[in-house]
A = this chain, B = another copy of it.
Amino acid sequence: MSLTEKVDKRAHILAIAETLFAEKGFDGTSVRDIAQLANVNLAMISYYFGSKEKLLEALIEDRAGYTIGIIEELSKNQTLTPWDKIDKLVDFYVEKIFNNFRFHCIMSQQYNHTRSPEIKELIINIKTRNLEQIKKVIADGQKKKIFCKVDIELTMASVFGTLTHVTNSKSLYCRLWKIEETDDVSYRKKITPRLKTHLKQMMRAHLDIKNEE
């Protein structure tokens, strides 16, 4: 078997695990579930990853890598105004979370319930680095007297929290807006532009120095 096929197999297991962990939770998913759905022998999971927990760690490491670079670039950019940056941040995170909603789902469960200190550390580090970069964007806008004084950490909590809430409340919104719950595409098409508009509008009012109290 060639190297690429081997990588593919590993990646395939990761993808299946991602789906199942997101759907049924880490503890609600057995390695047999994963093996069966991935069409691999049960023992292959230990063979590739060592254990169920290591599989989760591998999944997180694999999926979590790519965000920070984009945000760093954005925060350093000199040609964009702080308002532009906020808009771009909103667009980026909305897209990101809907492209990776399964992974995002796993992150939120693990963040609360993991027994593995390694995984907890991993998640906190990712979140902290994200937060630091965005802090810079808002602080820069404040220094330029464009943004008013706000609680930066909680402002970020509102952005991330809104996103998480919407992805996690899919069943509720599907019922409200009469969308078939199985129809991921329709949901996404309906919700993402709305979400972008809402977050930008809210941030614009919230950060605008003209609205300072």
Contact = CB atoms under 8 A, between A and B. Distances in A.
Interface string A160-190: 1111111011011101100000000000000
Contacts of A69: none
Contacts of A169: 111, 127, 157
Interface in A140-154: 150-151, 153-154
Copies of this chain, whole number: 2
B201 A115 contact: no
A24 interface: yes
A147 to B, nearest CB: 12
A124 interface: yes
B108 A28 contact: no
Contacts of A211: 205, 208, 211
A51 interface: no
Interface in A8-47: 23-28
A158 interface: yes
A113 interface: yes
A206 B213 contact: no
A78 interface: no
Contacts of A204: 213
B175 A165 contact: no
A104 B164 CA distance: 15
Contacts of A172: 124, 127-128, 131
A17 B24 CA distance: 20
Contact of A27 (B27, B105, B165): B27
17 contacts: A25-B113, A105-B112, A109-B113, A124-B171, A124-B172, A150-B201, A151-B194, A154-B162, A154-B198, A154-B199, A157-B165, A158-B158, A158-B161, A161-B164, A162-B162, A205-B211, A206-B206
Give the 8 A-B residue pairs with the shortest CB-CB distance, closest first: A161-B161, A161-B165, A27-B27, A205-B205, A154-B198, A25-B113, A161-B162, A158-B162
